[in-house]
């Protein structure tokens, strides 16, 4: 695939993977992106997962059309991008490897060698001329590993953005960008909002016409849309007005309370209500929605003097990914000693800028007149 007259796409699609990084469902597969810059000196931007080494090398050989690459630029050492480095060197033994100091240390760990005789070490502001193309390297530590660099080509005004601006899904499947990019961001990068903001600040000083990420499609149209979303996500802002209700229910009574609240919110004109059963729905989708909307309702049962495991796991994911700047309301159910609201609140107090709703709901086994009044008061507060 041609990106510019001298930059080609040579990556691969993976439809064998079911769980990316062992936890994120990817029904439409994954793309492991790699790019080829043809110039007086030829550079390859990143390798691919080791399971696709042969396909990737075949793509390279075809695109090179008899030429030999001079450089393999390694922006990120996660195995889905670095897994074919050794195969590349075995195939093109005269090529040099361009990367950061920390990346070469990781190569030693992954491959038993740091390719010391082939190293071209780069850091913040380092430049590399390929002839007509002039590359500038920008460090992006913890977006989302410590060794990450991104690369700016001032000739074609292309930002090779590593995992920034990536998304789930193979490139031969048509799907909405934002949905899977949002799920990818909050699952993979979300904890590192400060670092992503730092990268956006550096990028704001560059004239970028094309963004080439390591996952997902090449972005070359309406870049302001993608940059704006990335800014909202990485600053933990509210993307969409609405309320997410995440719940667990053992015998259905907590679910009844949730559905009652959702109905009252709808009647009061709430623009968007997302109801998620944490025991049955995809947890990465649940985390995505919790970050997308400005208000979150958590409803669960007291369980062994604690909270139901799926709710604890969900809150743990939120805390781990730096959940913040949100309003949270709590609903608990318990037959003899309700503890859920207290436990949930304690877990979430680790998060920054969380405003707890003044009204909460306590259910004693099943809904009654008092708990229904509490639901009505909560619906009124959330829709003020």
Give the C-alpha separation, 327 to 320, whole Å: 18
Q: Average pLDDT for residues 58-72, to the nearest whole number?
A: 97
The pLDDT, as a whole number, for residue 336 is 87
The 10s digit of each residue's pLDDT in 4-56 is 999 999 999 999 999 999 999 999 999 999 999 999 999 999 999 999 999 99
The 10s digit of each residue's pLDDT in 162-208 is 999 999 999 999 999 999 999 999 999 999 999 999 999 999 999 99
Give me the helices (H) in the chain, please. 53-64, 79-82, 85-91, 101-111, 177-184, 193-203, 223-234, 253-267, 283-292, 309-320, 340-348, 369-382
The pLDDT, as a whole number, for residue 81 is 97
Domains of the chain, with CATH numbers? 7-234 (3.60.15.10), 242-382 (3.40.50.360)
pLDDT greater than 90 at residue 337: no
Q: Average pLDDT for residues 125-129, to the nearest whole number?
A: 97
The 10s digit of each residue's pLDDT in 343-365 is 999 999 989 999 999 999 999 99
The pLDDT, as a whole number, for residue 1 is 87
Give first-to-last CA distance, the chain, whole Å: 51
Q: CA nearest 287: which of 182, 199, 212, 154? A: 182
Q: Which residues on adjacent β-strands are paired with residue 330? A: 298
The torsion region of residue 199 among left (phi > 0), alpha (psi -120 to 50) and beta comes to alpha
Q: Average pLDDT for residues 218-230, to the nearest whole number?
A: 96
Identify the burial level of 149 via C-beta atoms within 10 angstroms of its C-beta, where 0-12 means exposed, 13-18 middle and 19 or more buried: buried
pLDDT greater than 90 at residue 314: yes
The pLDDT, as a whole number, for residue 305 is 87
The pLDDT, as a whole number, for residue 189 is 93
The torsion region of residue 372 among left (phi > 0), alpha (psi -120 to 50) and beta comes to alpha
Cβ contacts of residue 255 below 8 Å, gap of 6+? 247, 249, 277
Percent of the chain with pLDDT over 70: 100
Give the C-alpha separation, 131 to 134, whole Å: 7
Sign of the alpha-carbon torsion through 260, 263, 269, 274: positive
pLDDT greater than 90 at residue 121: yes
- In three-state form (DSSP H/G/I as H, E/B as E, the rest C), the secondary structure along 61-110 is HHHHCCCCCCEEECCCCCHHHHCCHHHHHHHCCCCEEEECHHHHHHHHHH
Give the C-alpha separation, 189 to 235, whole Å: 12
Do residues 63 and 10 touch, judged by C-beta distance below 8 A? yes
pLDDT greater than 90 at residue 246: yes
Give the C-alpha separation, 171 to 29, whole Å: 9
């Amino acid at each position: 695939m041609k990106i510019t007259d001298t930059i080609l796409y040579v990556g691969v699609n993976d439809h064998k993977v079911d769980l990316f990084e062992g936890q994120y469902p990817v029904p439409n597969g994954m793309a492991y992106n790699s790019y080829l810059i043809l110039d007086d000196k030829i550079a390859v931007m990143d390798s691919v997962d080791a399971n696709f080494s042969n396909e990737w090398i075949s793509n390279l050989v075809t695109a090179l059309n008899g030429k030999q690459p001079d450089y393999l630029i390694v922006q990120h050492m996660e195995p889905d991008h670095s897994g074919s480095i050794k195969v590349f060197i075995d195939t093109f033994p005269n090529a040099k490897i361009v990367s950061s100091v920390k990346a070469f240390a990781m190569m030693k760990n992954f491959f038993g060698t740091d390719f010391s005789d082939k190293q071209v070490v780069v850091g913040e502001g380092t430049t590399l001329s390929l002839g007509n193309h002039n590359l500038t390297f920008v460090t992006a530590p913890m977006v989302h590993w410590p060794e990450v660099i991104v690369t700016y080509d001032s000739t074609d005004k292309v930002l090779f953005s590593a995992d920034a601006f990536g998304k789930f899904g193979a490139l031969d499947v048509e799907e909405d960008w934002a949905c899977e990019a949002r799920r990818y961001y909050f699952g993979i990068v979300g904890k590192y909002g400060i670092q992503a903001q730092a990268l956006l600040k550096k990028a704001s000083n560059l004239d970028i016409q094309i963004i080439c990420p390591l996952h997902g499609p090449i972005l070359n149209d309406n870049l302001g849309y993608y940059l704006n979303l990335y800014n909202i996500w990485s600053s933990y802002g509210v993307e969409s007005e609405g309320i997410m209700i995440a719940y667990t229910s053992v015998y259905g009574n907590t679910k009844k309370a949730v559905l009652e609240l959702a109905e009252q919110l709808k009647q009061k004109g709430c623009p968007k209500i997302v109801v998620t059963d944490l025991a049955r729905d995809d947890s990465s989708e649940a985390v995505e929605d919790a970050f997308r909307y400005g208000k979150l309702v958590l409803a669960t049962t007291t369980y062994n003097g604690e909270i139901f495991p799926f709710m604890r796991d969900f809150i743990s994911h939120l805390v781990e990914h730096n959940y913040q700047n949100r309003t949270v309301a709590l609903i608990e159910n318990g037959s003899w000693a309700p503890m859920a609201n207290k436990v949930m609140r304690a877990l979430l107090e680790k998060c920054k800028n969380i405003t707890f709703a003044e009204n909460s709901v306590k259910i004693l086994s099943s809904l009654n007149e008092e708990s229904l009044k509490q639901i009505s008061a909560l619906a009124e507060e959330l829709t003020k």
